[in-house]
Structure 1
Amino acid sequence: MNKRVLSAAATISLLAIPATLFAAPASKFLGDAIKGDNSEMTLGALAAKRGASSEVRAFGRMLQVDHAKAKTSAVVAARRERVSVSSGMMPEASAEFSKLQHLSGRAFDREFARYMVEDHQKDIAEFRKQERTGDRVTALLARQTLPHLRKHLATAQGIRT
């Protein structure tokens, strides 16, 4: 009888732990990381071409290069984990791309920097969580990617608009 009570209590206590404390499953994390890299490369290319300031254009090129490298690492991990590799973007990045296509000049730069700050803050939180609680493969990928995400956040925050 005591074992049943203890088992039920343990189950209930586990259910009370917020799901946000746990890392995403490897397949979801890797799929989102790859789509995130696709998104950053696409938005970076747009900024490199249409940015009004040299800072925004240089940041766009940095995003293209860094996220191409990150995608290569994520694809290797995804194939190892038998996760399909998408060529799509994250839905919020697609919406941002559409928004940015209608902007120019300082308005483009301001919106691009705003989105990059918000997006990289969110990404850093997700990658930190995966680093702490993910499986061996995704935790390592997150750990290796975090310095680049932090550099991108600092760059986006430093853009003068």
Structure 2
Amino acid sequence: MRNTMSRNALLGMSAAFALALPGGVAFAKEPASKAFITKAIQGNMAEVSMGQLAQQNGQSDAVKQYGQMLATDHGAANDKAQAVAQQMNVTVPTEPSKKQKADMAKMQKLTGAAFDKAFAQHAVMDHKKDIAEYTKASKMKGDPAGDYASQTLPDLQKHLEAAQALQKGAAKTM
């Protein structure tokens, strides 16, 4: 019995040391990695829907073109994110988060110039938040979710810059 207790104590200490060692860091990152990829998939789904809505409810050609870019780019990013989730044995979400659905419901009530202004503002805020989250996740080196984040960051930066240009254009027309 004493031998069993010593063995269990040794196993517990070994696990603690494994987490503290560079090679054991992956164990500590796993929950964050899984949470990130789940959130990324939900975000991509929301962006595809928002892009489609921009094409329907937008007034300016610039907003409609930006909506097309969102739908296309985030659709492709979502395919990659879902593949990463499957590789990590993460259950792939089937819909955006409640907050994302609420944001979409608000935007669906708008059309024309009012939609363009609100959409541009939402796109800027959302992409700033996404860039911060993806930047943090990209630091998970050797992690499939971290690799996905690193590969996706340039597109998110491009989307932010385009959204900021839209916002400036929308402000001029208001």
TM-score band by shorter chain is: 0.7 to 0.9
TM-score in terms of structure 2 length:
0.77
Task: Give the 3-state SS of the residue equivalent to 1:25 in structure 2.
Answer: helix
User: Which contiguous aligned blocks of 4+ residues in structure 1 show a shift greater than 3 angstroms?
Assistant: none
- Corresponding residue for residue 4 of structure 1: none
**Which of 128, 138, 143 pairs up with 1:131?**
138
- Corresponding residue for residue 66 of structure 2: 59
Q: CA-to-partner distance for each residue in 1:9-55, whole Å, 9 max, x for gaps?
A: xxxxxxxxxxxxx8961211110000000000001000011100000
TM-score in terms of structure 1 length:
0.82
Contact 1:116 1:153 in 2 (8 A): yes
Aligned length: 140
AA matched with 2:110: L
Structure-2 change in CA distance of 1:94 and 1:141 (3 Å): same
1:87-106 equivalence runs, <5 A: 87-106=94-113
- Corresponding residue for residue 49 of structure 2: 42
**Which of 62, 75, 80 pairs up with 1:68?**
75
Shift of 1:116: 0.5
Shift of 1:146: 0.2
Matched, 1:116 2:123: yes
Matched, 1:30 2:34: no
Q: CA-to-partner distance for each residue in 1:76-132, whole Å, 9 max, x for gaps?
A: 100000001112113332111111111111110000000010000000000000111
Contact 1:44 1:62 in 2 (8 A): yes
Matched, 1:77 2:71: no
| Larger-gyration structure (1/2) | 2
Q: CA-to-partner distance for each residue in 1:136-155, whole Å, 9 max, x for gaps?
A: 21111001000000011001
AA matched with 1:130: A
Structure 2: gaps of 5 or more residues: 1-28
Identity of aligned residues (%): 36
